[in-house]
Amino acid sequence: MTNIPPAMTLEDAFAAIPAALPDETLDRSLLERYATCPFQALAVETGLVKDGGFEADSGTECHRVIGEGIDHYLRGGDFIDYCRQEIPKMRPDVQHDAGPNLWRSVHGLARLLRWTVPPGPDCPEGVRRSPEDIIRYQGGQGEQTGQVSWPLLPATATRGQIIVTSEVDLLLAESASEMTEIDFKRHKVFTGADIKASFQFRLHAWLLFHIHAELEVLRTKVWNVPKGSITPAAVFARRDADEFAGTLLEAVRYRSEAHVLAIKAELHNIAAWPHTEKCVVCPAVRDCLKTPTPCVALNMEPARFAASLQVREIAVQKDRALLIRYVTDHGEDFGKGLSFGIGKPKPPQKPVASTFRFYDTPGEDQPDAEAAKE
């Protein structure tokens, strides 16, 4: 007699269904690196090199206190009082830097949260901002979270969905179809053109236009925390977000190709796009197989060493140009002790390249030589 297998139970049927592959969530900084230079991105993603440091940690502390202060304000507290209490409690190793920088912005940020139009000659009573118009902020919970995500690619037979995520510092509703994004920056001074060209802000537009179906106009501004200043708005429309999808897809493609080549131990075939302005801030520049390394031993190949020196002299000239551009973009000299910029005496109306120089900045107990002459 033939044995007839028992009928499949409901539990057996569910067990036979293949488990869904997990989704993969890629954040903004990772995708921006792959859009900048795939080798750099892979080196950071795999831990070959570390990125970050003191300045990044200081900026993170500023963002944390601002986000917590907004949360305190929305719960009925005072933003300025919260910051006054929390700034001294910042992470001890960066508090001396982050605290004074953030304090320069505290009162301005309090006005931003409280007023749509601050009191002034044209509007003596001002226009108060409703707390309900604070749509999202860093550290917010539930629907007010600043962490926003959206699927870029659907699941396939070999992987789950590819989801893109990033964090918005502050999102304000201006009308039923218009919103303003405020992003807090610790260093670079942005222009409207910088914002429109930024991977970060184009990505935020892509995410917010997908998440908020009613949104038609997104105005993005950058708040410079140490200066307490804000840029004019750069305007994004829905078509701008749609066009950015191609950039995201390419970043994901280059990441996938880099992972395959790394598994095959073909690091030399991973795409690398060296460029002076990118390489000068790249954490993986010492490990990059496509970065020129002209240093050779003088006693072995003196002629080649001389040629290498000539190349390095050209590089120094380019580095000086980058320093001048840095000072010009930030609008002020930098450094303590050894400083760089236009310095004293008072700069001319239109500084030229030869105006910029290295100079010593007097310490707190060291008199200013120029001031002593006056």
Tens digit of each residue's pLDDT (9 = 90 or more) over 346-374: 555 566 666 666 666 665 444 444 443 44
Measured distance CA(58)–CA(54) in Å, rounded: 6
Calculate the alpha carbon distances from 196 to 63, 141, 164, 202, 311 in Å: 22, 29, 20, 7, 35
Q: Give the orientation angle of helix 54-74 with respect to helix 79-86, to 10 degrees.
A: 140
What is the pLDDT at residue 283? Answer: 82
**24-255 carries CATH number 3.90.320:** yes
Strand 217-224 relative to strand 178-185: parallel, antiparallel, unpaired? parallel
Measured distance CA(330)–CA(224) in Å, rounded: 10
Which backbone phi and psi does 210 adopt, to 5 degrees?
-75, -40
Calculate the alpha carbon distances from 225 to 21, 61, 115, 184, 362 in Å: 42, 12, 19, 6, 26
What is the pLDDT at residue 129? Answer: 95
Q: Half-sphere exposure of 198 toward its Cβ, with a 13 Å CA cutoff? A: 22
What is the pLDDT at residue 101? Answer: 94
DSSP 46: T
% the chain with pLDDT above 90? 57
Amino acid identity for residue 177 in this structure: S
Intervals of the chain under pLDDT 70: 1-8, 10-19, 276, 280, 291-302, 304-305, 308, 331, 336-337, 340, 344-374
pLDDT digits (tens, 9 = 90+) for 293-310: 543 234 345 676 677 677
Contacts by residues 356-365 (CB-CB < 8 Å, ≥ 24 positions apart): 356/320, 356/323, 356/324, 356/327, 361/335, 361/336, 361/337, 363/337
Nearest CA-CA partner of 230 in 109, 333, 59: 109
Q: Would you report the helix, strand and coil content of the chain in percent, each value rounded to 5?
A: 45, 15, 40
Cβ neighbours of 240 (radius 10 Å): 17
Task: Read off the pTM.
Answer: 0.75
Domain ranges of the chain: 24-255, 302-369
What is the pLDDT at residue 6? Answer: 59
| Alpha-carbon 183 to chain mean position | 9
Measured distance CA(215)–CA(207) in Å, rounded: 11
284 token code pair: 């993986």
